[in-house]
Amino acid sequence: MKKNYFLILLFAFLLNPIYSQVQLSVYSEISIVTAGPGEELYESFGHSAIRIKDPVLNLDLIYNYGMFDFNQPNFYTNFAKGNMIYSLARYDFKYFLASYKRDKRWLKQQVLNLTQQERQAYFIFLERNALPQNKNYQYDPYFDNCATKLRDITKDILGDKVVFNDETLEKKLTFRQLTNHEINWNSWGTFGLNIIAGTKLDQIATSNEYMYLPDYIYSAFKNATVYIKNQPTKLVKREDVLLNFKEKEPKVSAFSPLLIFSVLALLVIFITYKDYKKNKRTKWLDFTLFFITGLIGAILVFLWFFSSHSTAPNNFNLLWAFAPNLLVVFFLRKKYSQDWVKRYVLLLLFFLLLIPILWMTKIQVFPIVLIPFLLLLFIRYLFLYKKLLTFKK
């Protein structure tokens, strides 16, 4: 969840893993570093990384699992297919700190209460992961990202000695609810994330799964217990505020989804009313609606069946974004439509009526901003069903 700066990557490349044989001193520290949200969509969830500091060795490194490169070959094609390659970059902490200071994002560190042997185990693990042959991994925004890496590394190294307490967590939240808490509900980013995700996002997340979000990594480590010589103690022994900026509020565009869809709904309802009164059909409107919903549906079908995005399958947004609309749209341009088209429109109306049922039963929750658009589709489809075979040129 951290922007990939070319200079940082260059520095990380030039900095060979020269520390792999180094023994950390008793003054070394392992810290979980959490950053506040930024202005870009992929920065909205914050960021997590690991810092290793040893003043005796004059060592201060950040291990950042959130690096990606827009300039990678076939980046956008791979992204569409769900083949998102992220990397672990290891570089001087001062560059990491400077980037967040420039972006005016708050930064906190939690120094872990570890034995020297455990700190060394972290160090060796991260150094091996930073090797060119090990640094890349298959990114998943919910199950394998910069935050979950820190959870998994800690469990791998400490094993049963660490216990993540969840008493303070708000229980029984779905992945979709957790995601929507982080970004404004009336933004195009939220709308897009909710449209491309299916029923997997509506599953109740476990306390362990909450930790795909940096905020919950921070909370989980803060409340965690570690056993040292069989005695329970807090995993975090000290917390430091590194940058004390005010948390950035999510930006909302003046042309928000709710505004745009509401205006479109009023426009379509008005045109439909005029068509009804004049006993005619505005063909360009029907072409536009069928083409757009069909195109979105085709994209969702691709994501479901031909990509490896973990949350794309079982997406009931296909009930309104129905892919066959891309083909049926050309039959609507005829002077007199065939009878099967009328039955097809009836099927679309049935699909729209299923959406509130799925929504109320929480099988899949749809974006609130979609309501005006669903309303305009229902009214237009109902008009087409009643009048389709009687239209004149």
* Confidence check: pLDDT of 19 > 50: yes
Residue 12: C-alpha distances to residues 34, 66, 160, 232 (Å): 20, 13, 33, 37
**For residues 35 and 77, what is the distance between their CA atoms, to the nearest angstrom?**
29
**For residues 158 and 152, what is the distance between their CA atoms, to the nearest angstrom?**
10
Q: In this predicted model, which residue has the larger pLDDT, 1 or 199?
A: 199
pLDDT-derived band of residue 337, with 50, 70 and 90 as boundaries?
low
Residue 385: C-alpha distances to residues 37, 107, 328, 388 (Å): 48, 57, 14, 6
* Confidence check: pLDDT of 356 > 50: yes
Give the residue-averaged pLDDT of 156-160: 95
Pick among 1.10.10, 1.20.140, 3.90.1720, 1.10.287: CATH of 6-169+207-243 = 3.90.1720
Structure confidence at residue 41 (pLDDT) = 79
Give the residue-averaged pLDDT of 188-216: 94
Range with lowest mean pLDDT among 12-26, 146-160, 375-389? 12-26
Q: What is the pLDDT of residues 52-66, one digit of tens each?
A: 999 999 999 999 999
Q: In what order do the strands lie in the sheet with 162-163?
A: 162-163, 225-228, 231-234
Which residue reads 């820190």 in tokens? 150
**For residues 64 and 90, what is the distance between their CA atoms, to the nearest angstrom?**
6
Beta bridge partners of 159: none
Q: With contact defined as beta carbons under 8 Å apart, do 118 and 157 qualify?
A: yes
Question: pLDDT > 90: what percent of the chain?
Answer: 72
Structure confidence at residue 71 (pLDDT) = 66
pLDDT-derived band of residue 184, with 50, 70 and 90 as boundaries?
confident
Angle at the Cα of 206 from the Cα atoms of 369 and 144, rounded to 5 degrees: 80
Question: pLDDT > 70: what percent of the chain?
Answer: 89
Which ranges of the chain does DSSP label H, i.e. alpha helix?
Answer: 6-14, 75-81, 93-103, 116-129, 146-158, 175-182, 188-195, 214-222, 257-278, 283-306, 325-328, 339-360, 371-387
**For residues 190 and 257, what is the distance between their CA atoms, to the nearest angstrom?**
10
Give the residue-averaged pLDDT of 156-175: 91
Q: In this predicted model, which residue has the larger pLDDT, 206 or 14?
A: 206
Rg, C-alpha atoms of the chain: 26
Chain-wide mean pLDDT for the chain?
89
Q: What is the pLDDT of residues 249-303, one digit of tens each?
A: 777 777 899 999 999 999 999 999 999 999 888 989 999 999 999 999 999 999 9
Structure confidence at residue 4 (pLDDT) = 44
Q: What's the burial of 205, exposed, middle or buried (CB within 10 Å: 0-12/13-18/19+)?
A: buried
User: 130 Cβ partners below 8 Å, 6+ apart?
Assistant: 12, 17, 63, 88, 89, 90
Structure confidence at residue 179 (pLDDT) = 92
Give the residue-averaged pLDDT of 97-109: 96
Q: With contact defined as beta carbons under 8 Å apart, do 245 and 36 qualify?
A: yes
Structure confidence at residue 72 (pLDDT) = 67
Structure confidence at residue 73 (pLDDT) = 65
- pTM of the prediction? 0.86
pLDDT-derived band of residue 334, with 50, 70 and 90 as boundaries?
low
The tally of CA atoms less than 13 A away on the side-chain side of residue 16 is 2
Structure confidence at residue 185 (pLDDT) = 87
Q: What is the pLDDT of residues 29-42, one digit of tens each?
A: 999 999 999 888 77
Q: With contact defined as beta carbons under 8 Å apart, do 156 and 124 qualify?
A: no
* Confidence check: pLDDT of 123 > 50: yes
* Confidence check: pLDDT of 166 > 90: no
Which residue reads 């479901």 in tokens? 304
Give the residue-averaged pLDDT of 110-120: 96
* Confidence check: pLDDT of 137 > 70: yes
pLDDT-derived band of residue 383, with 50, 70 and 90 as boundaries?
very high
Q: Which of 120-129, 188-197, 325-334 has the highest mean pLDDT?
A: 120-129
* Confidence check: pLDDT of 391 > 80: no
Sequence ranges of the domains in the chain? 6-169+207-243, 257-390
Structure confidence at residue 117 (pLDDT) = 94
**For residues 161 and 172, what is the distance between their CA atoms, to the nearest angstrom?**
26
pLDDT-derived band of residue 104, with 50, 70 and 90 as boundaries?
very high
User: 85 Cβ partners below 8 Å, 6+ apart?
Assistant: 68, 72, 78, 136, 137, 138, 139
**For residues 20 and 33, what is the distance between their CA atoms, to the nearest angstrom?**
22
